[in-house]
Structure 1
């Protein structure tokens, strides 16, 4: 038995919530599910993806120890049409890398491109 059966949420620390929310909702097309704001320094926005997973953007001044810094996370999103996704993001002003076909090494056939969110977190789009 595996103790994990699926990833349901990724938390992304951001420096500017308004900018991050606009990027993920308007540029990437994710749906805002919750928007909880105590003040400018304590604000959480959850966005949903098809299939039930979510991304929570976090801007918080109340973390213990050393909090994660913006720009230190990377994650993968799948797409059924890599060329269409690349074109749409370009049209929205996002600057993705060129599409490549070797995500898992030469000959893998997995096409992908990468981009950075406003805080420098790496987002990889892949089509298997």
Structure 2
């Protein structure tokens, strides 16, 4: 039996601002923007090539906006990913790697090159480069 992660709820304080950030600045596709009655709004966004989406909205979570940390995306080219984020106006870290558990500037070995950014509420993201596939 396959177990697939489909959706992660990302708590935000302003749904329209978050939708703009993730769609226009980061580049996620907007799958749906739906209202369920007066209280709930669900905006589902999916990173290009991902089988997992995020949801931002109202009436869907009691978590504090900005409380999600360690969300992670994986890319083939960390430099291209960083350039894409910078072009979208995202405040993103330089390329970094870990040495003995401490962040250091520059690329690392396989699975050890990252950039980091936060959304407008402070939800924290890492983007990791995976090794080239043959």
Work out the number of aligned pairs and report it. 122
**1:42-121 alignment runs, 5 A limit:** 42-49=40-47, 50-60=49-59, 67-74=62-69, 75-102=71-98, 105=101, 109=110, 110-121=112-123
Q: Which stretch has the larger CA shift, 16-25 or 88-97?
A: 88-97
Provide the secondary structure at the position in 1 that maps to 2:122. Answer: coil
Matched residue, 2:126: 124
1:36 corresponds to 2:31: no
Q: Give how far 1:89 is off.
A: 1.0
Matched-pair contact (CA < 8 Å) for 2:26–2:90:
no
Deviations 1:42-100 (A, max 9, x none): 3210012323211111222x76xxx2100110200111111011112112211111111
Q: Give how far 1:104 is off.
A: 8.4
- TM-score after normalising by structure 2: 0.78
Q: Which stretch has the larger CA shift, 94-103 or 82-91?
A: 94-103
Matched-pair contact (CA < 8 Å) for 1:102–1:108:
no
Matched-pair contact (CA < 8 Å) for 1:73–1:121:
yes
Provide the alpha-carbon RMSD of the alignment: 2.5
Quickly say closer, same or farther: Cα 1:103–1:68, change in 2 above 3 A.
Answer: farther
Q: Give how far 1:5 is off.
A: 3.0
Q: Give how far 1:108 is off.
A: 5.5
User: Mind listing any 5+ residue stretches in structure 1 that lack a counterpart?
Assistant: none
Separation of aligned partners in 2, 1:90 and 1:48 = 19
Matched-pair contact (CA < 8 Å) for 1:103–1:112:
no
User: Mind listing any 5+ residue stretches in structure 2 that lack a counterpart?
Assistant: 103-107
